[in-house]
Amino acid sequence: FNAVDVIRTKRDGAVLSDGQIDWVIDAYTRGDVADEQMSALAMAVFLNGMTAAETARWTAAMVNSGERLDLHVDRPTVDKHSTGGVGDKITLPLAPLVAACGAAVPQLSGRGLGHTGGTLDKLESIPGWRAQLSTDEIQRQLSSVGAVVCAATTGLAPADRKLYALRDVTGTVESIPLIASSIMSKKIAEGASSLVLDVKAGSGAFMKSTSDARALAEALVSIGKEHGLGIAALITDMSVPLGAAVGNAVEVAESVAVLQGGGPADVVSLTVSLAREMLSLAGLSDVDPAEVLASGAAYETWCRMIAAQGGDPDAPLPKPKHVHVVSAPSSGVLTSLDAYAVGVAAWRLGAGRTRKEDPVQHAAGILCHAKPGDRVSAGDPVLELHTDTPELVEPALAVLTDAFEIGAAAPERKILLDTVR
Ligand code: URA
């Protein structure tokens, strides 16, 4: 095979052969296909797409570029992946809940980039908690606690690591076959036998429309099925932040509230819906996650999960040095609260990073004191901005000017928009 022929095939709109796909992914990982050649191929895929069969083969080639975890646990393994949103802390209550229901949850997670937060950044606000675990430690914790949330080991899907960085700087991120194969290669390499996807739709998500989110969900589910995974996708609303907390420590606090039987209704309901799907794929549909959550068993598993990774579940969480309140300019009902604006503002306050290597502020973020449908009086707090760096308040306020509206009545909000199986 030769790189120019592979590029020409896709440039001219033809279907790549299995041999071409296997060769090009392997040769690129080894450095035999140059970045400029892979960029041209990624752009050809961006413009001309790939069939479901090509996408499945492309995913398999990326899985084969590295190691595949072989999890030995005596309970069914099931994972969840979210395409990313604002205030999306669902992994935090969900992983211990599903473990408390009897499944094993290996959740290899990422860090935030841009306006969407990263699970590891959130958990690192817990004093002592460690994201980096060896494969042996993952294995042991899965057996003893049933849930592990940690950083993906570098040996998983190295082809994706390289290709994602290249796509990021060549305008080729927003392609459904490339996004779907990127996500699924990492999830398949992680070794869980089933997977539930939370595909977000709305201003705060990658996919702004429900129809784009559905197309991505269908591509993800199709790859999963080709690889023998039990898989389902929920398409859920991301036009409004999830819950009241957006940031790092504030999202941990909200997750703990959910695990202790409180917390915002939308976070509780999405956690329970995703848990139901995961338990059904794991063959445990007779267990009711709402009951297990109410019993306190999920909170107990959370404490063991955090402690197993060096964290102190009882330690106070970091507090911000500076708090700024945005109040309601008039009285009425909050009719909208834009997820994207709140996500960008939290990022600017220091909750997220601009460059991959930047640190995040654990105490930075936003508390939403009102959500669409809530009645407010003029002067009531709507948003509470947290940061350690007062100079960051101004840039955050600049993106919040049209973040919410006050009117007479809010439209009904549905969280679960669709399901793809
Ligand atoms: N997340 C990924 O892991 N890969 C993509 O291509 C996009 C989002």
Q: Is residue 206 pLDDT above 90, yes or no?
A: no
Check if the beta carbon of residue 97 is closer than 8 Å to that of residue 212.
no
183, 184, 187: residue to mutate for ligand 1 pocket, most atoms within 8 A of CB: 183
pLDDT digits (tens, 9 = 90+) for 234-252: 999 999 999 999 999 999 9
Six-digit token pair at 5? 């022929």
Active site residue 181: no
Comparing C-alpha atoms, which of 390, 263, 374, 396 is closest to residue 326? 396
With a 6 Å cutoff on the Cβ, whether 183 touches ligand 1 is yes
Summarised one tens digit per residue, pLDDT across range 168-198 is 889 998 899 999 999 999 999 999 999 999 9
160 is catalytic: yes
Is 110 touching ligand 1 by the criterion CB < 6 Å? Answer: no
- Strand stretches in 129-247, DSSP E: 147-151, 194-201, 230-237, 245-247
Q: Which domains does the chain have, with CATH numbers?
A: 3-49 (1.20.970.10), 78-308 (3.40.1030.10), 322-407 (3.90.1170.30)
- Which pTM does this prediction carry? 0.96
Q: How far is the CA of 165 from the centre of ligand 1 (A)?
A: 10
Catalytic residue among 115, 122, 167, 348: 167
Q: How far is the CA of 21 from the centre of ligand 1 (A)?
A: 19
User: Nearest CA to 102 among 295, 301, 255?
Assistant: 301
Which residues, 6 or more positions from 245, have their beta carbon under 8 angstroms from its beta carbon?
87, 89, 251, 253, 254, 365, 366, 367, 368
Local confidence band at 111 (pLDDT 50, 70, 90 cut-offs): confident
Point out the least confidently predicted range of 150-159, 290-299, 350-359.
Answer: 350-359
pLDDT mean over 286-312: 98
**Selected catalytic residue, list 57, 115, 122, 186:** 186
Query: Amino acid identity, residue 345?
Result: A
Residue 197 pLDDT: 98
Centre of ligand 1 from the C-alpha of residue 375, in Å: 38
Ligand 1 mean position, distance from CA 223 (Å):
14
Instruction: Give yes or no: 144 in active site.
Output: no
Q: Which of 164, 190, 223 for a ligand 1 pocket mutation test, highest count of atoms within 8 Å of Cβ? A: 164
Say how many CA atoms lie within 13 Å of 150 toward its Cβ. Answer: 27
Q: Indicate which atom in ligand 1 lies nearest the CA of residue 110.
A: 3
Tens digit of pLDDT for each residue in 334-360? 999 999 999 999 999 999 987 777 889
Cβ of 179 closer than 6 Å to ligand 1, yes or no, is yes
pLDDT of residue 414 exceeding 80, the answer is: yes
Average of pLDDT values for 320-326? 98
Catalytic annotation, pick one of 79, 160, 237, 338: 160
Concerning whether 312 is annotated as a catalytic residue, the answer is: no
Sign of the four-CA dihedral 176, 95, 253, 309? negative
The CB of 163 under 6 Å from ligand 1? The reply is: no
Q: State in Å: Cα 334 to ligand 1 middle.
A: 33
CB 332 within 8 A of CB 314: no
Average pLDDT score over residue span 306-329: 98
- Neighbour tally for 372: CB within 10 Å: 18
Q: Which protein residue's CA is at the shortest distance from atom 1 of ligand 1?
A: 183
- Measured from the CB, is residue 182 less than 6 Å from ligand 1? yes
- Give pLDDT, residue 280: 98
Reported confidence tier of residue 47, pLDDT bands at 50, 70, 90:
very high
ipTM of the complex: 0.96
Task: Please say whether the beta carbons of 196 and 277 come within 8 A.
Answer: yes
pLDDT score for 421: 95
Ligand 1 pocket: which of 182, 186, 197, 220 to mutate (most atoms <8 Å of CB)? 182
Closest C-alpha residue for ligand 1 atom 7: 179
CB of 1 closer than 6 angstroms to any ligand 1 atom:
no
User: Do residues 168 and 126 touch, judged by C-beta distance below 8 A?
Assistant: no
The whole-number pLDDT of residue 24 equals 98
